[in-house]
């Protein structure tokens, strides 16, 4: 019952819980004393501890219930009263009551950030990195190149290999790679074109991935399939019909025209698979899929018939084909390819299955669909890695059949590595890591015994369309292509691993690297077999020597392009003199020996950047080498049409685009001499891109950019205002 207090009011009875709280150790040990020395009422003592003052606040009603003074059930997101009256339910949060909880959450988040930072540090210290080892003094940009500490206006490309296959806890720019400055899109971003192209074009990273952003009116991406070949389309006209009887002549045509460039098949096995399809129909196994892919490649190459090699037997010709194939080779090829793609999902990890995926990537390259080619190639590389990890290894005690299968495995491995290294710099996609796989067995040319074996096989009808005397030449070309492609990519990583600002600040190193590359090119050529060497006179188009010469020209263009950049943008470098004049057409240019002597006498600082006097001495040589790049581009453009349709058409389109941009840069620049026929050369490059742009929209995007720049430069050179 309530008890009266001395002020006349009622005081509630003291409960046992209250007494227990009074005796709590949280109270002070002493009581406050009154004026007369008597203790005050212990019930009036306030608790000063946070544990007692903080209490959970009752749930607060919503604004609508508080306004109407009705009980709120605190349902979220809408209470019952608001739902009944169809009113907006708003809760006014009490920030003061939630402050301690917010502080606790903040502390937890700080601790999580610390843990995340520690994990990243551990990951950075424990993640192994692959380093490309080189001999001392072989590559000056590795031996003497310092770390870039100065700020540069352009982004630096990463040199580590985490871009390719390493895992990372943080997001990275997908376009950053050691090959970023080597792509044709990097030329569009050069400062010399900044006043001639739009801002959107100057920030371009990939024609393949960003063409739709540049040209949203339908230009971009890859061409879709024809309507009559699309899945589930029964309204369009019927497409070409596949005839199984065409598989045998198509496979024989492949062996006589294509196989000698990439000898990773056994001719007898391929013809036996084709005969099996012709007699029993198409199955759903890897053999039928391989025959379909090879037939598709043979059909698509009918658009430009390849001349036979001059050293091959002229009496050997491919068998005649049906009239409907000659009437529509592209449509028949796509029909064979679509039938093969239906079987790709059923493939496993055998060598035949991997060959199917590899040749499907070859077909997609012939159709100028680089992304689709890359997807098939990645599937082939991944399955090949799994196949290699599952096998027991090569043994000298293998029988003849297993030894033959192991040789095929070697050819497939190095063909996949070569194809991947060829596409990798331009696709902005990570590598499969197959080139870093521990596989030391390099494919060897056929021995004398193998040549006798090939001659015996060529007498049979199964492989009668494989010229026996082409085996050695084919293998030599195969080995030269593999080694040359890997060497070029190694130089690309070395030379283009830094941004363009690094070139401007390390001019002596660029000149030394160019001189050593020229020596290596000469050494390479001297070691080529006589049947593969090319002289000053142009080799026969589409021959093995012709394609090797094209590779060497690519190499030269890559090592000269940084020097062209330095010659075009020297005025942006503070330490470079501006009083140099361009080398006229009839004016004698410095010789190669003068270039080497200047590089030997150049004084290099410990950082390898050189001083003012060395740059002033070397800059005329830079102009000379940049003029060599312009002359090289002028000679490469007319030869583009000689290649016809082959697996490197997309790369050739990109090279033609670079050559056209280089010619226009020489016209814009005041320090370089443009060719007299630069207008005709640029129009030839535009016409070549227009030809293949009908099949690849990324090539059409290149054509639009080059044509737009050409029109503006041409009107400016004629004194007309640019549009």
Structural domain contains residue 95: no
- Please give the average per-residue pLDDT across 402-420, as a whole number: 86
Look up the domain containing 470 and give its range.
234-477
Which DSSP string do the residues of 180-229 spell out, in sequence order?
GGGSHHHHHTSGGGTTTS-HHHHT---HHHHHHHH-TTT--SBPPPPGGG
Q: Average pLDDT in the 416-428 region? A: 90
Quick check: 617 and 598 in contact, CB under 8 A?
yes
Which segment of 35-44, 131-140, 458-467, 666-675 scores lowest on mean pLDDT? 131-140
Q: Indicate whether 615 pLDDT > 70.
A: no
| pLDDT surpassing 70 at residue 387 | yes
Pairing mode, if any, of strands 3-4 and 10-11?
A: antiparallel
Mean pLDDT: which of 96-100, 211-215, 283-287, 536-540 is highest?
A: 283-287
Helix (H, G, I), strand (E, B) or coil at 377: helix
562 C-beta neighbours (distance < 10 Å), count: 27
d(CA 573, CA 153): 12
User: What does the DSSP assignment read for 610-663?
Assistant: --HHHHHHHHHHHHHHHHHHHHHHHHHTGGGGGS-S-TTHHHHHHHHHHHHHHH
* SS (HEC) of 55-118: CCCCCCCCHHHHHHCCCCCCCCCCCHHHHHHCCCCCCCCCHHHHHHHHHHHHHHHHHHHHHHHH
Taking residues 253-274, report their average pLDDT: 89
Q: How many Å apart are CA 329 and CA 303, to the nearest integer?
A: 7
| pLDDT number for residue 515 | 92
Query: What was the pLDDT predicted at 117?
Result: 78
- Burial call 603-634: b when 16+ CB within 10 Å, e when fewer: ebeeebbbeeebbebbbbbbbbbbbbbbebbb
Cross-strand bridge partners of residue 222: 696
Label residue 293 by pLDDT band (50, 70, 90).
very high
pLDDT of 77 higher than 50: yes
Higher pLDDT, 8 or 362: 362
What integer pLDDT is reported at residue 130 of this predicted model? 38
Distance (Å, whole) CA 575 – CA 184: 28
Across the chain, what does the average pLDDT equal? 74
The beta-strand segments (E) located in 525-601 are: none
**Element housing 10 (H / E):** strand 10-11
Structure confidence by residue, pLDDT tens digits, 171-223: 567 777 888 899 999 999 999 999 999 988 888 889 998 877 776 665 544 55
528: DSSP letter: S
Asked if residues 604 and 532 have their Cβ atoms less than 8 Å apart, the reply is no
Which of the given ranges, 315-319, 410-414, 719-723, has the highest pLDDT on average? 410-414
Residue 99 has pLDDT above 70, yes or no: no
Report the pLDDT value the prediction gives residue 326, as an integer from 0 to 100: 84
Return all residues near 6 (Cβ < 8 A) that are at least 6 apart: none
Distance between CA atoms of residues 433 and 408, nearest Å: 20
For residue 608, pLDDT beyond 50: no
Question: Considering the entire predicted model, what is its pTM?
Answer: 0.70
Would you state the structure tokens that stand for residue 12, as one six-digit string?
């509630």
Confidence check: pLDDT of 653 > 50? yes
- Kindly state whether residue 634 falls inside one of the protein's structural domains: no
Q: Kindly state whether residue 181 falls inside one of the protein's structural domains.
A: no
Query: Lowest mean pLDDT: which of 50-54, 388-392, 459-463, 668-672?
Result: 459-463
Q: State the average pLDDT over residues 11-23.
A: 45
Residue 200: beta bridge partners? none
The pLDDT value recorded for residue 258 is: 86
DSSP state of 696: B
Q: Which of 55-69, 220-234, 280-294 has the highest mean pLDDT?
A: 280-294
pLDDT classification of 24: cutoffs 50, 70, 90: very low
> Looking at the predicted structure, is the pLDDT value of residue 425 above 70?
yes
Residue 676 or residue 140, greater confidence: 676
Residue-wise pLDDT for 463-508, tens only, equals 455 555 567 778 888 888 888 888 888 888 888 988 888 898 888 9
- In-domain check, residue 575: no
Which of 257, 325, 323, 318 has its CA nearest to residue 296?
325
pLDDT reported for residue 497: 87
Residue 626 pLDDT exceeds 80? yes
Q: What mean pLDDT is predicted for residues 636-662? A: 92
Q: What is the pLDDT of residues 432-468, one digit of tens each?
A: 888 877 775 567 655 443 444 444 444 444 545 555 5
Q: For residue 4, which phi and psi values (nearest 5 degrees)? A: -70, 140
Q: Which residue has 């012939």 as its token pair? A: 366
User: Is 241 a domain residue?
Assistant: yes
Which stretch of 23-37, 307-321, 330-344 has the lowest confidence by average pLDDT?
A: 23-37
Residue pair 174/428 in contact (Cβ under 8 Å)? The answer is: yes
Is 603 a residue whose pLDDT tops 60?
no
Eight-class DSSP state of 302: G
- Find the distance separating the first CA and the last CA of the chain, reported in whole Å: 100
Position with higher pLDDT, 304 vs 51: 304
Residue 658 — φ and ψ, nearest 5°?
A: -60, -45
pLDDT of 154 reads 46
pLDDT tier for residue 593 given thresholds of 50, 70 and 90: very low
| Displacement of CA 534 from its chain's centroid (Å) | 32
Does residue 419 lie within any of the structural domains?
yes
Q: Quick one: pLDDT at residue 189?
A: 94
Sign of torsion, CA 215 219 221 227?
A: positive
Q: Ramachandran region of residue 281, left (φ > 0), alpha (ψ -120 to 50) or beta?
A: left
Domain assignment present for 529: no
Number of domains in the chain: 1
Q: Is 318 inside any structural domain? A: yes
Asked if 486 and 492 touch (Cβ cutoff 8 Å), the reply is: no
CA pair distance 662, 568, nearest whole angstrom: 10
């Amino acid at each position: 019952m309530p008890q009266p207090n001395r002020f006349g009011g009622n005081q509630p009875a003291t409960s046992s819980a209250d007494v227990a709280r009074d005796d709590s150790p949280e109270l002070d040990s002493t009581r406050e004393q009154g004026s007369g020395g008597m203790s005050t009422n212990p019930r009036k003592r306030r608790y000063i501890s946070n544990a007692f003052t903080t209490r959970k606040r009752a749930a607060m009603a919503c604004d609508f219930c508080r306004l109407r003074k009705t009980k709120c059930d605190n349902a979220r997101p809408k209470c019952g009263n608001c739902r009944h009256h169809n009113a907006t339910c708003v809760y006014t949060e009490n920030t003061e009551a939630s402050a301690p909880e917010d502080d606790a959450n903040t502390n937890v988040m700080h601790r999580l950030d610390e843990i995340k930072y520690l994990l990243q540090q551990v990951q950075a210290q424990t993640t192994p990195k692959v380093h490309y080892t080189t001999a001392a003094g072989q590559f000056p940009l590795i031996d003497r190149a310092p770390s870039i500490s100065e700020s540069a206006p352009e982004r630096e490309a990463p040199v580590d290999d985490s871009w390719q296959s390493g895992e990372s806890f943080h997001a990275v720019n997908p376009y950053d790679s050691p090959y970023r400055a080597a792509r044709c899109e990097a030329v569009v971003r050069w400062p010399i074109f900044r006043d001639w192209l739009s801002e959107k074009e100057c920030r371009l990273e990939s024609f393949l991935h960003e063409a739709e952003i540049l040209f949203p009116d339908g230009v971009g991406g890859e061409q879709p399939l024809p309507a009559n070949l699309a899945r589930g389309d029964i309204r369009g006209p019927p497409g070409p019909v596949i005839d199984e009887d065409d598989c045998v002549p198509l496979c024989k045509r492949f062996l006589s025209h294509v196989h000698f460039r990439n000898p990773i098949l056994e001719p007898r096995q391929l013809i036996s698979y084709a005969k099996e399809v012709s007699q029993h129909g198409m199955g759903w196994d890897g053999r039928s899929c391989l025959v379909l892919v090879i037939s598709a490649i043979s059909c698509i190459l009918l658009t430009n018939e390849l001349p036979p090699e001059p050293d091959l037997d002229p009496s050997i010709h491919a068998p005649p084909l049906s009239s409907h194939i000659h009437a529509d080779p592209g449509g028949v090829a796509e029909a064979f390819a679509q039938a093969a793609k239906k079987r790709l999902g059923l493939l496993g990890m055998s060598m035949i299955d991997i060959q199917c995926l590899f040749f499907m990537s070859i077909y997609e390259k012939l159709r100028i669909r680089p992304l689709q080619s890359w997807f098939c190639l990645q599937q082939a590389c991944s399955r090949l890695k799994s196949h290699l990890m599952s096998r027991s290894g090569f043994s000298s005690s293998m029988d003849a059949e297993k030894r033959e299968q192991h040789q095929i495995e070697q050819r497939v491995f190095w063909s996949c590595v070569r194809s991947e290294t060829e596409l990798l710099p331009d696709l902005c996609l990570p590598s499969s890591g197959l080139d870093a796989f521990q596989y030391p067995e390099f494919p060897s040319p056929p021995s004398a015994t193998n040549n006798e074996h090939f001659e015996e096989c060529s007498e049979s009808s199964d492989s009668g369309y494989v010229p026996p005397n082409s085996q050695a030449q084919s293998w030599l070309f195969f080995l030269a292509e593999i080694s040359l492609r890997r060497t070029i990519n190694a130089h690309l990583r070395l030379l283009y691993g830094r941004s363009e600002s690094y070139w401007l600040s390390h001019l002596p190193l660029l000149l030394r690297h160019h001189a050593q590359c020229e020596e290596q090119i000469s050494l390479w050529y001297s070691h080529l077999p006589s049947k593969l060497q090319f002289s000053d006179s142009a080799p026969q188009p589409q021959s093995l020597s012709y394609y090797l010469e094209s590779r060497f020209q690519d190499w030269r263009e890559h090592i000269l392009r940084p020097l062209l950049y330095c010659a075009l943008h020297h005025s942006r470098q503070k330490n470079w003199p501006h009083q140099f004049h361009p080398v006229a057409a009839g004016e004698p240019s410095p010789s190669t020996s003068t270039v080497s002597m200047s590089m030997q006498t150049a004084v290099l600082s410990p950082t390898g950047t050189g001083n003012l006097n060395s740059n002033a001495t070397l800059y005329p040589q830079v102009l000379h080498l940049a003029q060599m790049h312009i002359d090289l581009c002028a000679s490469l453009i007319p030869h583009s049409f000689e290649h016809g349709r082959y697996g490197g058409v997309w790369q050739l389109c990109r090279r033609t685009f670079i050559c056209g941009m280089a010619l226009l840069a020489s016209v814009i620049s005041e320090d370089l001499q443009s060719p007299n026929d630069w207008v005709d050369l640029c129009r030839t490059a535009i016409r070549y891109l227009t030809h293949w742009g009908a099949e690849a929209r990324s090539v059409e995007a290149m054509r639009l950019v080059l044509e737009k720049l050409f029109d503006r430069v041409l009107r400016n050179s004629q004194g007309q205002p640019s549009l």
